[in-house]
Structure formats: structure tokens, C-alpha cells
């Protein structure tokens, strides 16, 4: 039992690393890749969202794969894919290999997200199932903590390199800081190689799911698997329930005359409810906030290693509150924890949105100054003392606080957002030109455009359009006190998510689905979950660049309010019930 929980928990660890590792790497990736590879804000968002998109792709076939090769071999495959993704990312020399590595990491995460909760639900006793799913979430949060600590260590190394380069000339100093940041984000990913190897090797030693074995007609092997975690009497009683629950599947396989349709109440109601909960779970913005939290805290007023330290604190709070959820989930039940957690999320996101609204209201429009510098549909500038003086910065930052310039611009349908801070030691050039903004066409884009389904614009329109500056705002970076207030709201957000949705979502995913559709139903529900998460992550940077962080937080609060109402009025309590008893409830028995 202990080894089973440990290895399944390692799956949660990898899932947490998938989500969290980009948070510490992104500031350095943004500083170096946007200069060396000329990446746009949209491309950086795609790199963040690639893990989620990979999860969407693998969710399409995860259930079928788990039914075909078994739960155990499915976990082995997910671990191998994660392990292979690390060198592909860490050795990337351009946008394409980096994006492919992140996609591969996401494919692994999608398999883990379906197969590990499925395996736990099918292997654990009803009285232990809640704790097992909570342990998966706990190791997920520990993965987030580990990713944040790795990011913090690299942040200190970058600050040390920056301090050591202060005596150098401007060009040499910029080169030294650039090299330190490039090394930092690559090292962050190399640190993730070991847990992938451990999970892959450990999954090989696990027993197969008894319910999968029973569906394949391997009854004696199923009995042996049950006896690993149950007494002989409990194993026999549960095996009888499993065989009885499989009877409709056998009847349905004999022909279309079977009366138990997939559109029947016993299947559709729990399936739709699970899909709704999985979609709303990501609509809270949890994955995007965890991925962009260092950027959020930078924008709120915490800079450098301070923001990375706050990120570590945030992830530790996440882990500690997950321990609380482990203790409470089989005592208080799923419904109570979901209502408690979603209520806290609504309050925290509303407060964070109001804090950002107050700071974003102090920005000064500097579009006329930038337009005066434009040369033939392009522009380049450094946010140095001379530039700040021409913008009238003395009237913006009377107390000497660093300044931040945010520019949103477009060439026809192609948009980009860039930010520069006056306290960045490298003082990277802000360049606006057509070559970096108008993305070349792709085979996928051309294919979907023929079907009139492609949401992305044609490059031809961008090649003819002039440069248009949509927004150019200069503002003092908020004081550290403002940053810590936002940090407090982020802690409340994460604590509320951990104690409720963080744990209960995996239970909803695995418990609500009837045996006949569990693996494929979980795949579809997680597909919806990851699709919502991918869309939010993909538009996050462009949206906050155009409309500010307050808009994203208010949107998340509105979605979470709907989540609260769903938990309060639609979700049944499944605490202490076997999977077969839950299925019987939806069947009206």
C-alpha cells in the first residue's frame, strides 16, 4: 500500500513540476529568448500554454490508452515521455525545439492526470480513496514547491552575477547578465530530470488495477491485486461488486439491443457534472496564476529574488493546506470542502483585482512620445535615463521608484506586448518591427484556414499593415507594501484552492464516472479541463498587456462564483461510498 501511494504520488509530483517549473524560468526566458530569438509575447504565452495544450492532446487518447495497455504501463509511458522532454527543453536553441519539448512535457502531464487518479480510484478501498487522491494532490503541491525553490536558487545566482558585473562597461555588463539569465532557465529544467526517472522505474514495479484486470476477464489476477490492500473477506465482497457492475458492459457488447444506453441518466448526469466541475476548476485561473506568479508579483511591486522567495512561500502554503485537505476530505466530505474553497477563491481574486485596479490607474499615456520616435513602421529604444527624461519621468516617480513601460502594438491582426523596467541591469532594447511580430505561416495554420476554422490570422494581412501603437503606458513600479498585499491575496487564493478544488477535483473526476465509461469519460472531462487552462494561459500575457491584471482577476472571480453554486446545488456527496454505490445512486437505485 505504501509503495503504491508513493509512486502514484510521484505522478502528482511530476504533474506539479509540469505546471510550476515555468514560473521561475519565465522571467529569465523572457529576458533572453525575446532578445536572442526575437520571441513575441504571444509566443512566450504559447510556450507557457504548450504544457497545457500537450495535456489536451494526450487527454484525447489517455482513457483509450489506459484501457488498451493497462493503467500501470500507461503510467510508465507518461514517466518516460516526461524524462525525454527535459533535455529537449534545456538544450533548445530556438522557439521550435523549446515549444516541442514543452508539448511533450504536457503530453506526459495529460496522461498522468487521467491515469494516476484512475489507478488510485480503482485500487484503493472506499475509506482510503479520498486520502489517496489527496496524497496525489499533496505531491503535486510539493512538486510546485520544488519548482519554486529551484527558481529561487537560480534567482540568487542571477543577482550575484549582476552584482559582480557592476564594475564592467555597459556592453560587457549586459552580456554577463544575459549569460547568467540564459544559464538560469536552462538549469531550472535540468533539475527536473531525476523525479521523471524515479517515477518511470517505480511504476514498473506496481501491480495492475483489479478493475481493469476484471474487465479483461483475468479474475484471479484481479483477486490477487485486491488481496494486496484488503482482507480476504473484503476482497471477495468487492470482487463480487465489480463483476456485478460489469454485467451491463457484457450485455451491451452483445449488440445494439442492449437497453442501457450511454445517453441514459446513469451515465450522462455524472459525466456532464464531472465535465462542468473540471472546466470550472481551471476557470479559476489556478494554472496560469501559478505559472505567471513571479511576473504578477514583479508587477505588483516585488522584484528579483524577493518575488521568487514569495513564490516559494506561496507553494509551501499550497502544500500545507493540501495536508489539511488530506485530513478533512474523508471526514467533512467533498461538497463542504468545495464550497469552502471556492468561497475563499472568490474573495481573494476580487481583492487582488481591486489592488491592481488602484495601481493601474496611475499609469501615464506616452503614445505621442513613442510615435514621434517611429521610423518607417519600426521603433527601437532603451529605457535609460535619457529616454525617461524625454517621457517626463520625474513627474511620475517623485520618490525615485523604478519605472515600467508597457507597450501594446500591432501590424494588422498580429499583436504583441512588451514591458521594460528601468531597474533591469541589462537594459534590453525594446524593438517593434514587422519581422518579430508577424509570425510566419505554418502547415497547421494553412490547413485549418482552408476549413475556415483557424483562429489565427494570415501572415499576408500583417505584411501590408502599418505599425499601430495601441497602448503605451509608463508608471512607477508599485511599492513593496503593495506587492506584499497582493502576495497575501495570492496566499488566500492558493490556500482556498488547495483545501477545496485542488483535492476534490480529482475525486470528482474518478468517483462520478460509472465503471463502463470511467476511463474514456475521464479523458473527455480532463480534455475540457486542459482546454480551458490552455486558453487562459495562451491569452494571459496579451490580455494583461492590453487590459491589465485586474481584468484577469475579476474574470476568475466570476467563474469561481459559478463553481460555488455548482458545488452547493448540483454535486452529491460521495464520501465513504464505493464506486459501485455512487453509480447506483445516479441510476436511481
The alpha carbon torsion through 532, 535, 537, 541 (nearest 10 deg) reads: -150
DSSP state of 191: T
Residue bearing the bigger pLDDT, 363 or 482 = 482
Q: For residue 77, what pLDDT is reported?
A: 92
Q: For residue 34, what pLDDT is reported?
A: 64
Residue 16 has pLDDT above 80, yes or no: no
Q: For residue 580, what pLDDT is reported?
A: 65
Mean of pLDDT over the chain: 79
Q: Where are the domains of the chain?
A: 2-206+264-359+482-586, 210-247, 364-436+445-481
DSSP per-residue string spanning 341-409: HHHHHHHHHHHHHHHHHHHHTT-EE-HHHHHHH--SS-EEE--SHHHHHHTTGGGT-TT---EEEEEEE
Strand, coil or helix: what is 412?
coil
How many Å from the N-terminal Cα to the C-terminal Cα in the chain? 32
Residue 418 and residue 499: Cα distance in Å, rounded?
A: 36
- Per-state percent for the chain, helix, strand, coil, to nearest 5: 75, 5, 20
Percent of residues, the chain, with pLDDT higher than 70: 82
Question: Cell numbers of 115, please?
Answer: 491515469
Residue 554 has pLDDT above 90, yes or no: yes
Instruction: Provide the whole-model pTM.
Output: 0.66
Strand, coil or helix: what is 124?
coil
Q: For residue 129, what pLDDT is reported?
A: 63
Residue 516 has pLDDT above 60, yes or no: yes
Q: Which CATH class is domain 2-206+264-359+482-586?
A: mainly alpha
Residue bearing the bigger pLDDT, 343 or 158 = 343
Residue 20 has pLDDT above 80, yes or no: no
pLDDT by residue (tens digit) across 225-261?
Answer: 777 777 788 778 878 877 776 665 444 444 433 444 4
Residue 68 has pLDDT above 50, yes or no: yes
- Looking at the DSSP assignment, which residues form a beta bridge with residue 418? 407
pLDDT by residue (tens digit) across 402-459?
Answer: 888 888 888 887 777 788 877 776 677 888 888 777 766 554 445 444 545 444 566 7
pLDDT by residue (tens digit) across 108-143?
Answer: 888 887 788 778 777 777 666 666 666 777 777 788
Question: Cell numbers of 547, please?
Answer: 487590459
pLDDT by residue (tens digit) across 338-365?
Answer: 899 999 999 999 999 999 998 887 788 8
DSSP state of 456: S
Percent of residues, the chain, with pLDDT higher than 90: 10
Mean pLDDT of 359-379: 83
Q: For residue 251, what pLDDT is reported?
A: 41
pLDDT by residue (tens digit) across 300-327?
Answer: 888 767 887 888 888 889 888 888 887 8
Q: For residue 343, what pLDDT is reported?
A: 94
Structural contact between residues 107 and 59, judged by C-beta atoms closer than 8 angstroms: no
Q: For residue 563, what pLDDT is reported?
A: 93
Amino acid at each position: 500500500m505504501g509503495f503504491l501511494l508513493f509512486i502514484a504520488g510521484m505522478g502528482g509530483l511530476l504533474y506539479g513540476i509540469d505546471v510550476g517549473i515555468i514560473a521561475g524560468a519565465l522571467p529569465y526566458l523572457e529576458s533572453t529568448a525575446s532578445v536572442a530569438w526575437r520571441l513575441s509575447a504571444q509566443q512566450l504565452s504559447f510556450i507557457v500554454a504548450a504544457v497545457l495544450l500537450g495535456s489536451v492532446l494526450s487527454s484525447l487518447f489517455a482513457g483509450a490508452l489506459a484501457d488498451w495497455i493497462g493503467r500501470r504501463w500507461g503510467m510508465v509511458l507518461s514517466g518516460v515521455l516526461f524524462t525525454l522532454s527535459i533535455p529537449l527543453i534545456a538544450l533548445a536553441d530556438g522557439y521550435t525545439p523549446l515549444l516541442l519539448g514543452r508539448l511533450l512535457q504536457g503530453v506526459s502531464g495529460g496522461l498522468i492526470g487521467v491515469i494516476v487518479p484512475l489507478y488510485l480510484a480503482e485500487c484503493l478501498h472506499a475509506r482510503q480513496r479520498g486520502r489517496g487522491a489527496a496524497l496525489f494532490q499533496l505531491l503535486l503541491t510539493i512538486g510546485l514547491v520544488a519548482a519554486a525553490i529551484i527558481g529561487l536558487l537560480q534567482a540568487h545566482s542571477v543577482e550575484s552575477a549582476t552584482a559582480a558585473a557592476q564594475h564592467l562597461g555597459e556592453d560587457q555588463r549586459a552580456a554577463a547578465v544575459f549569460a547568467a539569465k540564459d544559464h538560469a532557465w536552462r538549469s531550472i529544467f535540468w533539475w527536473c530530470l531525476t523525479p521523471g526517472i524515479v517515477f518511470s522505474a517505480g511504476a514498473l514495479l506496481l501491480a495492475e488495477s483489479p478493475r481493469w484486470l476484471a474487465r479483461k476477464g483475468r479474475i484471479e489476477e484481479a483477486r490477487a491485486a485486491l488481496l494486496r490492500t484488503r482482507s480476504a473477506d473484503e476482497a471477495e465482497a468487492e470482487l463480487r461488486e465489480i463483476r456485478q457492475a460489469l454485467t451491463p458492459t457484457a450485455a451491451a457488447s452483445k449488440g445494439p439491443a442492449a437497453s442501457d444506453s450511454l445517453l441514459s441518466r446513469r451515465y450522462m448526469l455524472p459525466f456532464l457534472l464531472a465535465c462542468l466541475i473540471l472546466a470550472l476548476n481551471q476557470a479559476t485561473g489556478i494554472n496560469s496564476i501559478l505559472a505567471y506568479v513571479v511576473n504578477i508579483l514583479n508587477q505588483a511591486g516585488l522584484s528579483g529574488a524577493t518575488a521568487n522567495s514569495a513564490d516559494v512561500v506561496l507553494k509551501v502554503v499550497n502544500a500545507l493546506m493540501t495536508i489539511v485537505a488530506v485530513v478533512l476530505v474523508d471526514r467533512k466530505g467533498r461538497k463542504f470542502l468545495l464550497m469552502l474553497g471556492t468561497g475563499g477563491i472568490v474573495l481573494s481574486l476580487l481583492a487582488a483585482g481591486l489592488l491592481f485596479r488602484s495601481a493601474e490607474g496611475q499609469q501615464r499615456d506616452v503614445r505621442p512620445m513613442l510615435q514621434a520616435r517611429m521610423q518607417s513602421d519600426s521603433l527601437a529604444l532603451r529605457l535609460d535615463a535619457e529616454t525617461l527624461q524625454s517621457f517626463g519621468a520625474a513627474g511620475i516617480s517623485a520618490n525615485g521608484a523604478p519605472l515600467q513601460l508597457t507597450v501594446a502594438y500591432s501590424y494588422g491582426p498580429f499583436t504583441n506586448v512588451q514591458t521594460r523596467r528601468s531597474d533591469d541591469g541589462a537594459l534590453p532594447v525594446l524593438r517593434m518591427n514587422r519581422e518579430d511580430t508577424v509570425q510566419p505561416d505554418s502547415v497547421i495554420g494553412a490547413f485549418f484556414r482552408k476549413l475556415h476554422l483557424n483562429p489565427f490570422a494570415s501572415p499576408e494581412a500583417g505584411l501590408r499593415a502599418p505599425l499601430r501603437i495601441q497602448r503605451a503606458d509608463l508608471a512607477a513600479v508599485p511599492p513593496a507594501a503593495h506587492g506584499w498585499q497582493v502576495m497575501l491575496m495570492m496566499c488566500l487564493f492558493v490556500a482556498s484552492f488547495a483545501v477545496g478544488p485542488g483535492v476534490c477535483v480529482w475525486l470528482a473526476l474518478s468517483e462520478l464516472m460509472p465503471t463502463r465509461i470511467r476511463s474514456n469519460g475521464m479523458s473527455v472531462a480532463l480534455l475540457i479541463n486542459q482546454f480551458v487552462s490552455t486558453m487562459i494561459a495562451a491569452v494571459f500575457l496579451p490580455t494583461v498587456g492590453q487590459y491589465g491584471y485586474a481584468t484577469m482577476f475579476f474574470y476568475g472571480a466570476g467563474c469561481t462564483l459559478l463553481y460555488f453554486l455548482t458545488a452547493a446545488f448540483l454535486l452529491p456527496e460521495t464520501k465513504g461510498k464505493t464506486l459501485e454505490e455512487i453509480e447506483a445512486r445516479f441510476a436511481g437505485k
